Structure 1
Amino acid sequence: MTGSARNFLEFHDVPEAGLRSIVARAGELARAWDKRTMPQSLAGKRIALIADDGGWRNTTAFDLGIQAMGGLCVHAPIGFNVREETGDLAGYLGNWFDMLVIRTKELATLKAVAAASPVPVINARTRSNHPCETLGDLAYIESRRGAIDRLKVVGVAADANILRSWTEASIALPIEVVQVFPERWHVSDTALLNRRFRVSTDMGELLNADVVITDSWPGDAVGDSLAGYRIGTDLLDRLRKDAIYLPCPPVRRGEEVTAEAMEHPLCQSRAAKAFLLHAQNALMEWVVA
């Protein structure tokens, strides 16, 4: 963690015990959400929501969750690295708010905000990582399987923010993460490499996976050169019957996944993304505790 604040900039910022408590709490909040009995855990809290990098899903969920738990959410129309120094912005925001939820392009910018901020900072997405997305998926997986221990997670994806957050998770939690993709797109950042993460080009790794994730194909792929890494129903039919397939939105049908595969019983993207809200709510509770 950065300083004394409970920041969430990278998945492994939070100790294992904290992550387990957040994931478990997400399940409780999911039930409270369904019953419309949300705890007012953020009553009296003033939270800034800053999104200078587009997107809508997790920022909408943050806004909704803050209000449902009694907090005050303000959309601050800030662009970083434009007119004011990042450290100055963090200080000004700290005068008014109890927490900053920020979606921005660069992780380095987010770290600079956290270093100068007197209040906690949550990463709502950068181009380098997307820890809330992974946290939500893990909360969903636990709701289905009862535990997240000893998972084998196979990411059929390039070195980008979704896969990198799963790699961060393998640092913090006892899960195995395998990247399956052509070598030119393998994760090589030494800060992420660890004994529970490895790379491969073998799609056979999926056959005994507990969870399979995919992300949009990289923009520098040529033609249909990645066709061998496309997820179709023929492959999903060969996976374990209890496997969970989680394509990451926005899904590009005909690229990383076929249209038919999106209707396969193992594809649980819509149900899993419901837990993005619940996991983020649990995270905010943990941050202000």
Structure 2
Amino acid sequence: MAPRHFLTLLDLSTEELEYLIARSITMKQRLKDNGPEYAPLKRRTMAMIFEKSSTRTRVSFETGMAQLGGHALFLSSRDTQLGRGEPIGDTARVLSEMVDLVMIRTFSHAGLDTFAQTSSIPVINALSDDYHPCQLLADIQTWTECHGPVAGKTAVWVGDGNNMCNSWINAARRFDFNLRIACPEGYDPDPALLEAAGDCVTIVRDPMAAAAGADLVTTDVWASMGQESEQASREAAFHGFQVTEAMLDAASSEVIFLHCLPAHRGEEISETLLDDPRAVVWQEAGNRLHAQKALIEFLLLGRIDD
């Protein structure tokens, strides 16, 4: 049987994604109640390939694998032959013979696709330049924990049409909520994704208008990793797109604010926004652990109904 990969949210059905959200909430509560007693992955190993630096991704995946009874191997570009030019497919074949699962945090999504096509074990996209689906699992979990099922609700993305924005578009399709994207001209997300999403996603140039009555507001840094040379030009382009307390005031009375972190206070968010009780970013960050544990369990063991 071919392995199941998780490269974008569209690799799983709506039903499977809803199961993962429910499962992650259950696993989180059981960890709180009983500690890490559930360890079904004894002697299982996950290789973690990092071409981009990380705090939340490495700690959440490594901790999650340990809590499930398995072992995680950290591999940077300096630690593998990929860094010396070994073909991606060759590395995928080698790791398929040695470990049970591969997690990759990388630049090129095309390279990630090539790795998955050659791999005979599950591959997880822990971030590429095009998508960040694991973050969206944690985000939807957080939204669900705060206000129940997300279908029919409205989320607002403020800022660049980047990998996070692309994943929010896919999330709107799979979880059936409305997504308003407030971005300046020239920074729109992938047109093909917008076309595929249909009426559930709209572009709104005025961020305050986009936030009106919304149930959730989220954003990301203006210059992502690899775009540092564009910092000054992006600051100019995104002037007026900072998320502030006033923007949240324009939204629903029960609005929550999310950010995948790290945040640049005074740039994409106001200096004090993360101190606002409507900002649930620490809960969101912690949910990376639980959502990814549910994902790992699903890819290796299938659905667990208990």
- 1:7-64 C-alpha deviation (Å, 9 max, x unpaired): 0001111111110000000101111222214421322322111112111211211000
Aligned to 1:21: 19
Shift of 1:81: 6.5
More moved, 219-228 vs 199-208: 219-228
- 1:199-247 C-alpha deviation (Å, 9 max, x unpaired): 1102212121111111111435355442311112222233222111112
More moved, 188-197 vs 158-167: 188-197
Alpha carbon RMSD of aligned pairs, Å? Answer: 1.7
Contact 1:52 1:78 in 2 (8 A): no
Aligned to 1:249: 261
Aligned to 1:51: 50
Q: Pick the aligned partner of 1:184 from 186, 202, 210.
A: 186
CA–CA separation in structure 2 for the residues paired with 1:122 and 1:223: 32
CA–CA separation in structure 2 for the residues paired with 1:136 and 1:78: 29
Give the structure with the larger helix fraction.
2
CA–CA separation in structure 1 for the residues paired with 2:206 and 2:37: 45
Q: How do 1:87-126 residues align onto structure 2 when only pairs under 5 Å count? A: 87-126=89-128
Q: TM-score, normalized by length of structure 2?
A: 0.89
How many equivalent pairs are there?
Answer: 287
The 4+ residue runs of structure 1 with deviation greater than 4 A are: 222-225
Q: Against the structure 1 CA distance between its residues 149 and 170, is the aligned structure 2 distance closer, same or farther, given a 3 Å change threshold?
A: same
CA–CA separation in structure 2 for the residues paired with 1:79 and 1:252: 34
Unaligned runs of 5+ in 2: 224-229
CA–CA separation in structure 2 for the residues paired with 1:89 and 1:129: 22
Q: Percent identity?
A: 26
2:48 alignment partner, SS class: strand
CA–CA separation in structure 2 for the residues paired with 1:103 and 1:282: 19
CA–CA separation in structure 2 for the residues paired with 1:207 and 1:38: 45
Q: Does 1:201 align with 2:213?
A: no
Unaligned runs of 5+ in 1: none
Q: TM-score, normalized by length of structure 1?
A: 0.94
Q: How do 1:131-280 residues align onto structure 2 when only pairs under 5 Å count? A: 131-193=133-195, 194-195=197-198, 196-203=200-207, 204-218=209-223, 219=230, 221=233, 224-280=236-292
Aligned partner letter, 2:108: E
- 1:180-211 C-alpha deviation (Å, 9 max, x unpaired): 01121112431453112221102212121111
